[in-house]
Structure 1
Amino acid sequence: MSGNRRALRDVLIETAASLEKAGIDAPRMEARRLVCWAIGCEASGLLSLDTLPEEAAPRLEAGLAQRCARRPLALIEGETGFWTLTLSVSSDTLIPRGDSEALIEALLNLRPDKTGIHSVLDLGTGTGCLLLAVLSEYAQAYGVGVDLSPDAAALAHANAQRNALASRAGFLAGNWFSAISGQFDVIISNPPYIRSGDLAGLMPEVRDHEPARALIAGEDGLDAYRLIIAQAMAYLAPKGVLVFEIGQGQETDVIALAGSAGFVLVEARADLGGIIRALCFERSFVPSQSDA
């Protein structure tokens, strides 16, 4: 992919062909993104170019080689979009996916009063995508994100700064609730939910480039839900909501686990593929002041 002043149309066609040969879905779309990344322009910027700038050719060649080796495009670009945010990404965290936006949609449907949420806890925060998306919608809320990885917590903090939300977001390295005190109006989590035996069958982009600790949750994929649900009641405000992302087909098991701990399902929402992705729970019994 070297050469001087090559026609941009030819570059896009050849890049897409290489991606298709490597087994990449949507190769034409990814080719445009790679070329934009190499040039350093938005998609609309391609309209004003007839040829690939010479200085962009080595960068495109390197990026294309990485993508054909199945390195995720977002890791090559260094960022991705989620909800209304632009987030930096790294190999220390999962890459935010559009499917996870179902959790934000479910919460907004369940809590439409934008002044009614004041405190949010995000367990397994990763890039901070869920917490920051919630805070972007609920302007009076403050949130805490927790991740086992200090590097992930640092990245989430940087993303809060990038999106002008750092004054309302704090991030900690810790194991679920271990570093947390107090109660929250919202506890939200996209925990690991892949069964250990399914790791080898995941897409190379996920299996080889995203942290296994954020993916695998025991033989049945439910270990993280068990741990969170067992402790969540103590950290959830009396009228709070517990919001989970789940894997395909896990709704029955997670609803049963939550029900056995005193929670009742109040909202379920599918992703754009029609798969149930978000489950929201409240306490099945809210103590009155006289009971407290």
Structure 2
Amino acid sequence: MTAAQAMAAATARLRAAGVPDPARDARLLLAHAAQVDAARVTLIAPEDIAPEIAERYDALISLRAVRVPVSHLVGERSFYGRRFKVSSDVLDPRPETETLIEAALAEPFASVLDIGTGSGCILVTLLAERTSAVGTGTDLSEAACLQASANAVLHGVAPRAEVIQSDWFGTVRGHYDLIVSNPPYLASEEMDHVAPELRDHEPRMALTDEADGLTAYRVLAAMGPAHLEPGGRLICEIGWTQAADVVEIFHRAGWEQVICLPDLDGRDRVICARTPPQTA
């Protein structure tokens, strides 16, 4: 069997399993099995596939057919031009979160606190883009803290990044110019309707608060000012239907300049807010 024939068979198998974009996934997984760059798959397509590669490929396709995410199978995911190591212990970095990165980079900051850091993609990206800044990432999950620390080492920002296990702001000390967060924002009843890749293979506590999906924003709005410099910023990702509710939460807590920014698909995605200048 040639690589092209193997890909065709894999694509058909994934399509039958209901996998979105099966041809893309079949190509990426063949590249991983053959240990070549995905861009080179077309070059090996006419060649016979080696037995050991065919065996690895079949195993990968079997797992993808039961909706294990491609990122978990290859062990990494791209985010803001960098490759981040991921696993089932952390939420996958996603393109819509890059809107948060752009908002954070729109103004200077010397220190950043990332609440619920997960893979560390937000914290590490911001420190990589702002080479003089320092930052702290927190997560309730010890496994996530280890993953974030590994990504900080991978991208050369570990000397400027502290990752600590914490329940929200519980063990956070000091003040920061910027707080960022991509918290769990799915309501409990929404979990039955999300894709199997999320529901079955990503950490549930990174997806839902097991309530109305707004718990995180109440905590961020109430506790954030105590950890921000006067006039500091807080930027958080939201579900695309939550803008009005989250803006109201921050307004009621006394935040200023509360705005919502859309992602590249035009959906409400990021809330930006600022503490009053006199807030300590």
TM-score, normalization by structure 1: 0.92
Which residue of the partner structure matches residue 54 of structure 2? Answer: 57
Q: Percent identity over the alignment?
A: 38
| Equivalent residue in structure 1 for 2:93, among 91, 96, 108 | 96
Paired residues of 1:153 and 1:173 also in contact (CA < 8 A)? yes
Which residue of the partner structure matches residue 204 of structure 1? Answer: 196
Residue 219 of structure 1 deviates from its aligned partner by: 2.7
Which residue of the partner structure matches residue 75 of structure 2? Answer: 78
| Equivalent residue in structure 2 for 1:37, among 29, 32, 36 | 32
Q: 3-state DSSP class of the match of 1:268?
A: strand
Moved more, 14-23 or 57-66: 14-23
Which residue of the partner structure matches residue 66 of structure 1? Answer: 63
Residue 48 of structure 1 deviates from its aligned partner by: 3.1
Paired residues of 1:84 and 1:133 also in contact (CA < 8 A)? no
What is the identity, as a one-letter code, of the residue corresponding to 2:231?
K
User: Does 2:23 align with 1:23?
Assistant: no
Alignment of 1:97-176 (within 5 A): 97-109=94-106, 111=107, 116-176=108-168
Deviations 1:119-154 (A, max 9, x none): 100000000011111112111100100000111001
Which residue of the partner structure matches residue 242 of structure 2? Answer: 250
Paired residues of 2:90 and 2:118 also in contact (CA < 8 A)? yes
Residue 44 of structure 1 deviates from its aligned partner by: 2.4
Which residue of the partner structure matches residue 87 of structure 1? Answer: 84
What is the identity, as a one-letter code, of the residue corresponding to 2:145?
A
Paired residues of 1:269 and 1:276 also in contact (CA < 8 A)? yes
Q: 3-state DSSP class of the match of 1:279?
A: strand
Which residue of the partner structure matches residue 213 of structure 1? Answer: 205
Which residue of the partner structure matches residue 230 of structure 1? Answer: 222
Q: What is the distance in 1 between the residues matched to 2:50 and 2:253?
A: 60
Q: What is the distance in 2 between the residues matched to 1:41 and 1:270?
A: 36
Paired residues of 1:120 and 1:188 also in contact (CA < 8 A)? yes
Residue 239 of structure 1 deviates from its aligned partner by: 2.4
Deviations 1:36-93 (A, max 9, x none): 0111111222243232233211111000000000111111111111112211111111
Q: What is the distance in 2 between the residues matched to 1:133 and 1:266?
A: 24
Q: What is the distance in 2 between the residues matched to 1:66 and 1:7?
A: 21
Paired residues of 1:238 and 1:287 also in contact (CA < 8 A)? yes
Q: 3-state DSSP class of the match of 1:65?
A: helix
Paired residues of 1:80 and 1:87 also in contact (CA < 8 A)? yes
C-alpha RMSD over aligned residues = 1.4
Residue 267 of structure 1 deviates from its aligned partner by: 4.4
Q: 3-state DSSP class of the match of 1:208?
A: helix
Q: 3-state DSSP class of the match of 1:187?
A: strand
Q: What is the distance in 1 between the residues matched to 2:18 and 2:123?
A: 34
TM-score, normalization by structure 2: 0.95
What is the identity, as a one-letter code, of the residue corresponding to 1:127?
S
Aligned residues: 278
Which residue of the partner structure matches residue 271 of structure 1? Answer: 263
What is the identity, as a one-letter code, of the residue corresponding to 1:71?
V
What is the identity, as a one-letter code, of the residue corresponding to 1:8?
A
What is the identity, as a one-letter code, of the residue corresponding to 1:220?
D
Paired residues of 1:255 and 1:265 also in contact (CA < 8 A)? no
Paired residues of 1:195 and 1:216 also in contact (CA < 8 A)? yes
Deviations 1:174-201 (A, max 9, x none): 1011111111011000011110111111
What is the identity, as a one-letter code, of the residue corresponding to 1:108?
L
Moved more, 209-218 or 155-164: 209-218
Q: 3-state DSSP class of the match of 1:178?
A: coil
